Amino acid sequence: MTDRVIPEPQRRRRRPTKQGVVLSAELIVDTAIRLIGQHGADALTVRRLGAALGADPSAVYRYFHSTDDLLLAVADDLIGQAQHGWQPTGDWRADLRAIGLRIHAAYQAHPQAALLAAHRTTGRAHETAAVETILGILRTAGFPDPEAVRVYHAFVDQSLGFAALDAAALALPAPAAAADLQVWQASYARLDATTHPHIAATAELLTGDMRRSGYPYALDLLLDAAEARLRAASHDAAGRSHAAGGDDSAGDVHDG
Amino acid sequence: MTDRVIPEPQRRRRRPTKQGVVLSAELIVDTAIRLIGQHGADALTVRRLGAALGADPSAVYRYFHSTDDLLLAVADDLIGQAQHGWQPTGDWRADLRAIGLRIHAAYQAHPQAALLAAHRTTGRAHETAAVETILGILRTAGFPDPEAVRVYHAFVDQSLGFAALDAAALALPAPAAAADLQVWQASYARLDATTHPHIAATAELLTGDMRRSGYPYALDLLLDAAEARLRAASHDAAGRSHAAGGDDSAGDVHDG
DNA sequence: TTCTCTCCGTCAACGCCGTTGACATAGCCT
DNA sequence: AGGCTATGTCAACGGCGTTGACGGAGAGAA
């Protein structure tokens, strides 16, 4: 059997399962998300999903080609969730910060799906809308196009990178997650000060900080640097009509 | 059987397998990395690993408690590869930049393994050495401890996040990778200028920039911002003994 | 209403997987 | 030379994703 899936809009017959449930792709996706949220990432198996649905596990294959296909469908929901209800304020820095935090939060909410989604380019409506929004914020703020594109790239990939990293931590099987957390308290907090003086000196700060995501701070650093480059670019443009463009590192803010 | 593992340094008897191979933790890790690199992340199963080693699959459990334990060893090995042969120059910014690029490069060299390993905290020798080195660079440069820890966290997670993201792109099956790349040229380059004006205006720059990793640029932004905060902190410390600190976060540096 | 077609839920089975208990033997220490 | 035990091997368990075959149920046509 090469393919037992019929696209959702073409479905006509809805037949209840033995336990009286009427299946649909949406119901299966929702149930999968609920399963992951309630019992952890490793709770998502086709057999358990079938049980949670009140259907034979193999019925899922009438709606999705594979578990990967199902997870991508879950992921597709995510992109929309990150943008849902957002409104621009006109302050480019505040807007970018809000978008970054929303992306991060949306992926944290469904880490298992985030792991698959973070590194794919879909080209679908939600994604292109986000790209357009972010680019628009940067260009309207006054970033020259080449710089806007570079900042866009850094911003998006940093957001997705952190999202995937933090999601991966959340998506770990329970014992592995516990082990990772223990490492900081059990291992790093007890390293010898003679062999690891810097860790020993900051152990308490470290264990406190590593509990949290490093993303908000890293995001602020990125926005700091972008703002500095924006100022340098506009000073350049205002002060001189002939060339003197911001070089690679934009090191010098040669103005008052 | 609760535990059949004996720590590597305490091993005395080395007994060849039926096929004449003398096992060791190092050999198993190397074989695992080779397996992953040759046949993808899914190729790492205990049974296949045993076959590749020329040993019974269960022999692996004489060296690692579980596959997760083995994976942590793989992760630490990658960290070790990144640090191998590196020497500090004394210039904190150049040193951090070099370390970041090395981490990124080491993971790119084994993208399939990087996907599995990038988000784990191992607490093992190579990892603690790297943490100690990076913290040392920051504290020696003059970052106050709380700031040093935050910058460390942002720096490391940024490196690992980008490494994982870029590794994922490299590790995609060939057709999927081609599809992802095509999206930028086929989909984004042809979006309607009326619905997506910013994308349309920068399409050429976008397709050019998205080919490359955004990490080097993002790293420079992070170092820019860190340098600015370092300067602000030392000016504060030098110019004023009473408080008046930087507004944003980093409020109290009641140290020194 | 009845007939027909085919969708789709179900069952059973396949071949993987990680892991573990029991066993045997080879290598080291005395 | 002999014993201890570390360590490689074997067999088995329960779980996994997936698929082929089947039959009952729903919808449209007459």
- Mean pLDDT for back-to-back runs of 10 residues, chain A (256 residues): 74 80 89 84 88 94 88 78 90 97 90 77 78 96 97 96 87 68 79 94 92 95 98 73 42 34
Specify the DSSP class assigned to residue B187.
I
Q: A14: Cβ under 7 Å from strand C?
A: yes
What the block records as the tokens of B155 is 């720096």
| pLDDT reported for residue A2 | 53
User: How many angstroms separate the CA of residue B4 from the nearest CA in chain A?
Assistant: 19
If 0-12 CB within 10 Å is exposed, 13-18 middle and 19+ buried, where does residue B9 land? exposed
| pLDDT reported for residue A181 | 72
| pLDDT reported for residue B1 | 53
Task: Output A93-100 pairs: Cβ under 8 A, ≥24 positions apart.
Answer: A93/A141, A93/A223, A93/A227, A95/A137, A96/A134, A96/A137, A96/A138, A96/A155, A96/A223, A97/A219, A97/A220, A97/A223, A99/A130, A99/A133, A99/A134, A99/A137, A100/A155, A100/A159, A100/A215, A100/A219
User: How many angstroms separate the CA of residue A103 from the nearest CA in chain B?
Assistant: 15
Query: pTM (2 decimals)?
Result: 0.82
| pLDDT reported for residue A175 | 63
Phi–psi pair at A22, nearest 5 degrees: -95, 115
Q: B46: Cβ under 7 Å from strand C?
A: yes
A222 — contact with chain B (CB < 8 Å)? yes
| pLDDT reported for residue A245 | 39
Q: A55: Cβ under 7 Å from strand C?
A: yes
| pLDDT reported for residue A214 | 96
User: Which nucleotide is nearest to A17 if distance is taken from CA to C1'?
Assistant: C9
Contact B249 A220 (CB under 8 A): yes
| pLDDT reported for residue A173 | 64
Contact A164 B165 (CB under 8 A): yes
Phi–psi pair at B247, nearest 5 degrees: -70, -40
Q: A19: Cβ under 7 Å from strand D?
A: no
Q: B187: Cβ under 7 Å from strand C?
A: no
| pLDDT reported for residue A234 | 78
| pLDDT reported for residue B251 | 36
Euclidean distance between CA atoms B76 and B122, whole angstroms: 6
Residue of A nearest to B215 (CA): A154
Identify all chain B residues contacting A225, using CB atoms and an 8 Å cutoff: 220-222, 224-225, 228
Whether the CA torsion B205, B210, B212, B213 is positive or negative: it is positive
Contact A183 B222 (CB under 8 A): no
What the block records as the tokens of A36 is 């992951």
| pLDDT reported for residue B249 | 41
Q: Which residues of chain B have a pLDDT value below 70?
A: 1-2, 172-180, 236-256
Euclidean distance between CA atoms A21 and B99, whole angstroms: 56
User: Which nucleotide is nearest to B48 if distance is taken from CA to C1'?
Assistant: C17
| pLDDT reported for residue B177 | 64
List strand D contacts in A 40-79 (CB < 7 A). 44-48, 57-58, 61, 66-68
Interface size between A and B, measured as CB pairs under 8 A = 190
Residue partners of A129: CB distance under 8 A and separation at least 6: A83
Euclidean distance between CA atoms B153 and A209, whole angstroms: 8
Specify the DSSP class assigned to residue A184.
I
Q: How many CB atoms lie within 10 A of CB B137?
A: 24
Largest CA distance in chain B: 74
CA separation, residue A180 to residues B118, B121, B167, B249 (Å) = 13, 5, 22, 28
- Interatomic separation, CA of residue A6 and C1' of nucleotide C3, rounded (Å): 25
Phi-psi region of B125 (alpha: psi -120 to 50; beta: other; left: phi over 0): alpha
Identify all chain B residues contacting A153, using CB atoms and an 8 Å cutoff: 209-210, 214, 217
| pLDDT reported for residue A140 | 97
Q: Which residue is nearest to nucleotide D6 (CA to C1')?
A: B13
Residue partners of A205: CB distance under 8 A and separation at least 6: B145, B146, B149
